[in-house]
Structure 1
Amino acid sequence: MKIFVSSLVTGMEAERAAVVGAVRALGHDAVTAETFGARTDSPQVACLAGVRGSDCVVLVLCGRYGTKQPSGMSATHEEFREARDRRPLLAFVQDGIDREPDQEGFVAEVQKWQGGQFTERFSTADELRDAVTRALHRWELSTAVGAPDAVEMLARATGLLPSEERGFHNGVTTLAVAVVGGPRQSILRPVELEEGPLRRHLHQSGRFGETPIFVDAEGVESAIEAHAFVLSQSNRSVRLDEEGAIRIVLPLSEGRAGITALIEENLRETLVRALRFSSNLLEHIDNVHRLSHVAIAARINGAGGSSWRTRQEHAASPNQGSWNMHTDDRPPTALSPPSRPRAALRQQVDELAEDFTVLFRRQFKSAR
């Protein structure tokens, strides 16, 4: 496989040599700026193309930021931005040194994106070589089952979403969100779904965690359904299967006296809650990131002829709205492309929720 080495060149010769040595010792090809030779395009264009053409990127950060390009970022910073949404990225940060202010900000950005999962620290070139060897070996193990299949992942995600029976409406509009990881593989053993530790964690996080799913006023029921463990309340549920696929159902409707409204801000906040809960649950069951990518699908059920409104619009005229005894079996909603790096589920949750809200708004209003 091709491993792109991203760092400053001048002043980091020993560190770059250590990374290249580790890459080659594991049987991979090291792609570096020094190997590009004479080209008609600029060196940085060649490096960014090298990032896109590689299977993985090793990023090494020292104290200096580097010369800023026309973008206002250093070449290494540009390479990180190019890689983070496209390629697995292993980051290594040098300890015991003074950093330039721009480099401090860059390191903070990398660590926030990586969440510490693939970020290691080093002091010497020898320590860096050993750290890169360990990290690449872990990455190899995580990808041994193959590359993520975006089409397959999306099919699994949409298949998890519940559909509603036409002509039936229980008076509550719900949002179902499915998060499926890839490459597809077994994450939990069947016995783990039934053991106490996982169940206790789901009960605890579902009620009292950072983004609780359940309410205190009602008990939570648990069940095993085929290869999945399910916790549920009225109009609320969490489903987790052996492949680490997650489905969350939460209520959305707001209205009174038979007049219902789908509130845009409520939808966005509920999406954020579901995505954050899913991210935290994935970290709990797969903290070595065997599932490197996720596909997300969502569906609104029970909306019927409800009106789409903002909170301001609803507050101004709460008794205006629409009602339809027949529900619309709207198709699932998904992003394009459907597969995203798993880190996006944590670091871009607000953007993901905004994008899904826009897609739902289009779908909902086009049906009027």
Structure 2
Amino acid sequence: MSVPNWLAVCTVGTQRKLDGGTLIIEQEGRYGEGAKIVLWPSGDSLIQLPADRPSRGMGFPTLIEEDVSALVAGALDYAAWLLGQIDPTERISHIALAARVVGGSAFGWRTAAEHAASPNSGTVMMFGQEEQRDAAIRLTPPHMVRQALAMNRARIVEDLIVLLRRQWARG
């Protein structure tokens, strides 16, 4: 099987495999361990990015809102680019987005300013409530036209971050 041109640029520090018709690309080592892209034949995709810098250094383990926002924005940009590569005729006309933070349920959630003001203190979630934070959040309505990824990117990122912040504040 030949490798599409757009996939050839994704080779340094990555492992690619086909599982049936599903393409899986994973990053390894210093290039971003835990990053993964899964592309199903239907055009569905999963973009997994590690939040590997909780709390920007020492102090209370905290997810920084601005860092999570940058990851979400980058994932949306990549998703828009990927859709253009796999479906240049735009037969896929609508998309649905979901987001979740996995594996950091004991971390706090703060803005960079809040963390800078008090880096060594914070609120820890009670054990047994991890499922609340691990659940995926979805926009309402759950689907939108594909062009919204480009035209409304900033609003979509903001809406996803607001929902994630609410989810993490409940914990």
TM range (shorter): 0.7 to 0.9
Distance 1:348 1:224, change over 3 A: same
CA contact (8 A) 1:259 1:322 kept: no
SS in 2 for 1:304: coil
- 2:54 matched residue in structure 1: 254
Higher RCO by CA contacts (8 Å cutoff, separation 6 or greater): 2
| In structure 2, distance between residues paired with 1:326 and 1:355 | 27
| In structure 2, distance between residues paired with 1:344 and 1:278 | 12
User: Do structure 1's residue 295 and structure 2's residue 96 form an aligned pair?
Assistant: yes
**Cα deviation code 1:152-197 (max 9, x no counterpart):** xxxxxxxxxxxxxxxxxxxxxxxxxxxxxxxxxxxxxxxxxx4312
- 2:21 matched residue in structure 1: 227
- 1:202 matched residue in structure 2: 7
**Paired letter, 2:130:** D
**Cα deviation code 1:327-364 (max 9, x no counterpart):** 81321111111110000011111110100000011111
Coordinate RMSD, CA, aligned: 2.2
- 1:321 matched residue in structure 2: 122
CA contact (8 A) 2:59 2:119 kept: no
| In structure 1, distance between residues paired with 2:22 and 2:129 | 28
Structure 1 runs (4+) deviating above 4 angstroms are 322-327
**Cα deviation code 1:48-74 (max 9, x no counterpart):** xxxxxxxxxxxxxxxxxxxxxxxxxxx
Distance 1:347 1:327, change over 3 A: same
CA contact (8 A) 1:306 1:321 kept: no
Structure with the greater alpha carbon radius of gyration: 1
Give the number of equivalent residue pairs.
Answer: 161
| In structure 2, distance between residues paired with 1:226 and 1:259 | 43
**Cα deviation code 1:129-149 (max 9, x no counterpart):** xxxxxxxxxxxxxxxxxxxxx
| In structure 2, distance between residues paired with 1:228 and 1:236 | 17
- The alpha carbon displacement at 1:225 in A equals 2.5
**Cα deviation code 1:272-294 (max 9, x no counterpart):** 10011000110111111100000
**Cα deviation code 1:190-226 (max 9, x no counterpart):** xxxx4312xx41352x58xxxxxxxx6xx11111223
SS in 1 for 2:101: strand
| In structure 2, distance between residues paired with 1:361 and 1:244 | 29
Unaligned runs of 5+ in 2: 28-32
TM-score by length of 1: 0.41
| In structure 2, distance between residues paired with 1:202 and 1:319 | 43
SS in 2 for 1:360: helix
SS in 2 for 1:301: coil
CA contact (8 A) 2:59 2:121 kept: no
TM-score by length of 2: 0.84
CA contact (8 A) 1:260 1:322 kept: no
Distance 1:261 1:203, change over 3 A: farther
User: Do structure 1's residue 274 and structure 2's residue 75 form an aligned pair?
Assistant: yes
